[in-house]
Structure 1
Amino acid sequence: MDKFKAFTNTVGSSITPFAARSQQWIKEQTGNAGEKTDLPHDYVELETRIEALKNTHQKLLAATAQYASESYDYPANLRESFQDLGKSIGEKVNLLSKAGSAAEAQAAITAPPSAKPQPKTFNHAIARASLSGSQTIAMATPQGSTEPDPLSQGLEKIAIAEEKVGEARLEQDEKIQGKFLAGWSATLNQNIKSADKARTAVQNARLSLDAAKGKAAAGGRHEESYTEDQRKSIEAAEDAFVEKVDEATSIMRNVLDTPEPLRNLVELLRAQQEFHQRAADILEEVGSNVMELQQQQEAEYRKARDQ
């Protein structure tokens, strides 16, 4: 260990500032450095708050990044064919309404897909399954039946509604990407990164200062025996250290004081609220329509049994 100390002290007389900081850092890690210069208490508190802010941004981004992926709620066990993902529910329902026979209805269901595949969301998947079921039941209904099958009708209504909910979800995701994720990421990758850069500059200035102090104190010399050049070197390092601390303090305060993160959170909540309200309205309307079909079928069922 004594040989290591002698080596670092000898090399320290002619090394670059970067090398001096590196050497000081190694000394501190190996327990061979002298007293470290303390950072101001207020500065340390700001660093703690910046770390908390960074951690919060990283965790929430990890949780909300799924809004940038269309299929985040798409069932993993579902297997839909290229044909299933062809035309939208609205297009298929329109084609089915014009079909005059079972063959034409089947042709409408299997019509060539649109240029863009349909979205792979949970609601779109429910819509496609519902419309497929509706058509399967309708085609199985005996020819010549005067009344359409109520279950087939209900499934078609649900298909149309679920597609609307799916589209509303995609609109929500787009808003969240533009008004929350973009801003939240910018704070992490620009503002907080800028604060981290300023903190690194403080750390480097502190290492340079302690390296200068350590070099002057080599061999057990006291401050009174420092040379003029050594005193000037320490004073210059102290000035640089204070300057970097002041700069980093200002930057960290600005990052912590900006209301931008709360603005972003408001946009996240607004997009979610708008989607859920829209979804609730759509489902309430279709729920009433399907309930009417159910009540009509139950009334006819009871009437038939009473006869």
Structure 2
Amino acid sequence: MDGWAKLQNSFGNLNIGQAGTKFAKGFNSSVQATRERLGQVPPEEITELPQEYKDLEARVDALRDAHLAMLKITKVYESESYDYPTQIQESIAELSTTIGTGIQNFAATNFKGTNLPTPPPSASAAHQHKTLPHALGRAATTAASAIQTTNAAIGNTAEDKFAKGLTEYASALNTVANARVDQDAAIQSNFLKPWQTTLNANINVAMKARHAVKTSRLELDSIKQSFKAAASNPRRQEHLRLEVENAEDDLVQKTEVAITRMKTVLESPEPIKNLNELIKAQLVFFASAAEALTTAQGEIEELSVAAEGEYRKSRDH
């Protein structure tokens, strides 16, 4: 312990100019922090911060943790394919198609006027959304088309209730899919963006103010340790006494600033407003989905009852 104090005191005795003084303060603060971490500084020699400050620290930490916990999950809304597990396979297939289309168009443009065969230019495939509702809608449309095409090929003109049901389902899923895209856009704009602003700007400002308090407190206690170690040098101790007073004033000022900034963050209505926007976007989506699916389910249930009636009737003969 005496070794640490002598080391701190030796830096204080050096005449190394303004830059050196800043370095010495930083070094002494690091030594102070290390000694505290190792339990080499008695608790009574560590400057106590106001209880109000410590309470605000705990509340800001809780607010920051809450933002991080929500952000960890809600960031999925930044990626359209979060509910679509087969997106990777489709992307690979689409990439192959895109490359093939690019080569074909290049040949069509650059082989003109040569003896080489010129393929016709190919239009790029339409963009397909990578969401589960979109995928289900496309699957239902493909399934209905396959049945209708087969019926037409064999001359079956009777209404196919299953194909009609698939078409109703595809139509409903198209509505759900569009609502999903709108929901994600609303969440990105009205929740994720301001939520991350609160986290990365507002809360971060308070955290920086707290860091300044910690640094100031360590500097103060480091100077106090040097003052204590200079007991046999009255002139040095008098100089350090003035440094202690200045450091105390600095700590008070930085603590007041940090308290103000932490209160500003904690009193802000933004987090609850952002949460409300998240729920509003989800509510609109689920309401639209429920309405579309309820209508489709009613139509399909009628088809189901009719199909079952026809089936039972055919078995009675």
Please say whether Structure 1 and Structure 2 have the same fold, judged by a TM-score greater than 0.5.
Answer: yes
Partner of 1:133: 143
The change in CA–CA distance for 1:249 and 1:77 in structure 2 (over 3 A counts) is closer
For 1:22-171, list aligned pairs within 5 A. Answer: 22-33=30-41, 35-76=45-86, 79-80=89-90, 81-82=93-94, 116-141=126-151, 143-171=154-182
Secondary structure of 1:265's counterpart equals helix
For 1:153-302, list aligned pairs within 5 A. Answer: 153-219=164-230, 227-302=237-312
- Aligned length in residues: 280
C-alpha separation in 2, matches of 1:290 and 1:148:
14
Secondary structure of 1:217's counterpart equals helix
* Identical pairs, percent: 39
Partner of 1:9: 9
| Residue identity opposite 2:135 in structure 1 | A
C-alpha separation in 2, matches of 1:6 and 1:212:
12
C-alpha separation in 2, matches of 1:180 and 1:221:
62
| Residue identity opposite 1:287 in structure 2 | Q
Secondary structure of 2:82's counterpart equals coil
Per-residue CA deviations over 1:28-69 (Å, capped at 9, x if unaligned) read 234444611011111001001111111110010001100111
> Any conservation in 2 of the 1:33–1:214 contact (CA below 8 Å)?
no
Partner of 1:99: none
| Residue identity opposite 1:264 in structure 2 | N
| Residue identity opposite 1:43 in structure 2 | Y
Moved more, 177-186 or 32-41: 32-41
Per-residue CA deviations over 1:118-177 (Å, capped at 9, x if unaligned) read 111111111111112112222332622221311111111211211221111111011011
| Residue identity opposite 1:40 in structure 2 | P
C-alpha separation in 2, matches of 1:251 and 1:159:
53
Alignment partner of 1:18 out of 21, 26, 45: 26
The change in CA–CA distance for 1:253 and 1:221 in structure 2 (over 3 A counts) is farther
| Residue identity opposite 2:7 in structure 1 | F
Per-residue CA deviations over 1:217-257 (Å, capped at 9, x if unaligned) read 115569x9974322221111100000000000010011001
| Residue identity opposite 2:315 in structure 1 | R
C-alpha separation in 2, matches of 1:240 and 1:195:
17
Task: Give unmatched runs, 5+ long, in structure 2.
Answer: 15-20, 99-121
What is the Cα deviation at residue 114 of structure 1? Answer: 6.1
| Residue identity opposite 2:249 in structure 1 | D
What is the Cα deviation at residue 291 of structure 1? Answer: 1.5
What is the Cα deviation at residue 206 of structure 1? Answer: 0.5
> Any conservation in 1 of the 2:77–2:184 contact (CA below 8 Å)?
yes
| Residue identity opposite 1:302 in structure 2 | R
The change in CA–CA distance for 1:8 and 1:172 in structure 2 (over 3 A counts) is same
Task: Give unmatched runs, 5+ long, in structure 1.
Answer: 87-111
